[in-house]
Structure 1
Amino acid sequence: MRRTLFLSVAIGAACVALALTVPSSFAQRDVAVLEPDEAQAELERATRESQRAEARADRLAREADEATEAAEKTAREAAAVAAQIQAAESDIAAARARYSLAQAARAALSDRLAQRQQPLVRLTGALQTTARRPLALSALQPGSLKDLVYVRAVLDSAVPEIRRRTSALRGELEEGRRLEQRAAQALANLGDSEQALRARRAELTALETRQRLASREARSTAAREGERALALAEEARDLDGLIDSIDDAAALRRELAALPGPIMRPANLGGAGTRVPDENLASDPTPSASPSSTIPPRFQLPVQGRTIAGFGELRDSGLRSTGLALAPAPGAQAVAPRSGRVAFAGPYRGFGRIVIIEHEGGWTSLVTGLARIDAEVGDQVITGAPLGVAGSEDPAITFELRRGGEPVNPLNFLN
């Protein structure tokens, strides 16, 4: 019986030693591992942004169902798909963060087990040697009967201790298996999110194709506006000058839109009771849209990611930042921060591909650092409409918000 006990303990100890040397089976994909603190912060951020994106997608999907005009319906469908893409991107970031946390816990467990490995190996060798010797030979070993009694007493006291220690080790090994399952689940979620992301991007591409075909007849006007925007970009000395020029053009359009329309000619000029319209009355503009509310509009971030530079932060150039610098996932979806008109869309020196959107009330938003632009000058976009995608290597997207040409902190006006 004792020989069987020694053998089982030896085998259990050998299994522990073997578990310390076998690499983890789930570390098969090339997934970047973050530090535990960074991974926890990334998990919280990604989970929060995923929930918000899912809520936006549901709301836009309902609005698309309620829309009657084909153009509006397609625009809201595209915005809903873009929100679903951002939700999938956040789910991918959350899965990677969970994987990093599981890997960190696994590494800590391996360190604890490694500290016990050396004495455990020695114990395994001694127990295996003892287990291979028949118990009857222990009575024939050199020494007195008193020594044999001492040996049996030592073994009687050692076996419970061995059981206790191997029980703790077995618990830690079980924890290691749970960590492996957690990491494997994170990798499975990562694969599902990536598959959903590819499907949503394909769906968005199909919607954008439908939009281009539907608006082909208006392309001539868009081409002329695009040429004027490019001319403004060539004349502007810097990005601030370009935005000022766009703001001036927007103010001029608003003034022209506020002018009264033509006065209809009376059907009978010489008829009795005909009165020449009063000149002052004719000059009164027709009441148009009611003035904008004093409540400031709310915007959303164009991309989801870590904030790497805040508003007013000192840059390497020595100047203060006039917006937010965000680090999204490679190829992340960029969307319109609010409904408005695309005033500029294209490359601009030193800023990559940029999009400038005019909003009601003299507001202007600017998104820079895009790798691809899916909007054109003159497009009327809704909140969350796809604008383009970020780069594939170390992307950095800058979001600026201006009112009357003056930069403001976007964080004060976010949903």
Structure 2
Amino acid sequence: MELPPRPSAHTRRRRSVRRRRGWRLVPLLLVLAGLPALAQPSVPFLPADAVAPTSEDADLAALRERLAALEADEAAVHTEVEQLRERRERVEDSLHQRVRALYRMRRAGMLPVAGGFEAMLSHLGRMERLERMVSGDVRSVAFLDRRATALAGDLADKERELETGRRELAQLEERQRLTVASARTSDLFADLVDPDARLPMGGGGYGLTLRDPEPRVRFDAQRGRLRLPVAAGGTLRDAAREDGSGLEFMPPPGSRVEVVSEGQVAFARPYGVYGNMVVVDHGEGFFTVYAGLARLDVTAGEPVVLGQTLGAVGTAPLYFEVRRGTRSLDPHEWVGI
């Protein structure tokens, strides 16, 4: 068998260098393998339902803290005012007694002269001391009156500041409540619009995989020609609920509420400030909302035809909205008024 040719001296030297370099890398690789993996700084774990505080939350917390401090100051001023009142009563009572005593001593005139010179000096000394005490009581009453006047002004300032702060707090709390309610209502309509959203069936409320119904007349073709949801007489006015604007109808109690166009009931149950509410899906993302009903006559998933009764009103007004997805539309453009 013929052996392969022997490598040249130059080739043997190059192979030896490569083998030495390779062995030099082995310790380095072993060291690197033992080091902890280099990674970005770990992120603290947050619960899935944790909500980062907003600037509105911070404003509310700061305002509540300021109001608490003002209320503590107000309570302290009230306490001092009460203490001043009690002290003034004591000083004024003492003043009256001393003035009467001084009057009697002065009225006695020089009668103590009959008792001799020492009796007269003692009488004059008592009168002088009593006059000093009366003057001190008068000064005390004047000081207490000035202090009471200053505290009354301070108290009035704090009460005005508290009243302003409480109004501001009420506005912030209402704004936060409306923000939460608006987000909740938007989530509701976002779920109704989502064709893959499966909503719970409990309590006859809502709960079906929604699909666009196939109306005989497209809802958007009825702009300006929708019938009113109540046929009975009554008054009408613009209104709003949370994130939407609509109309309020005030027909006689017991009046029937009718659907303004055919569709499918997507929601039928009480809902927050809306009260008993029915939402009808008219397809292509259009919904009509009927809220404030005293009675519900339909259930979720039920198809409805034009003019079908959804329920009845009581003493509260009927609130009506037209929506496209999560956005409320101007109802005047749809009912032609």
Tell whether the structures are fold-level matches, with TM greater than 0.5. no
If each structure's strand is expressed as a fraction of its own residues, which one has the higher value?
Answer: 2
Question: Greater CA radius of gyration, 1 or 2?
Answer: 2
If each structure's helix is expressed as a fraction of its own residues, which one has the higher value?
Answer: 1
- TM bin (shorter chain): 0.3 to 0.5
Which of structures 1 and 2 has the larger relative contact order (alpha carbons within 8 angstroms, sep 6+)?
1
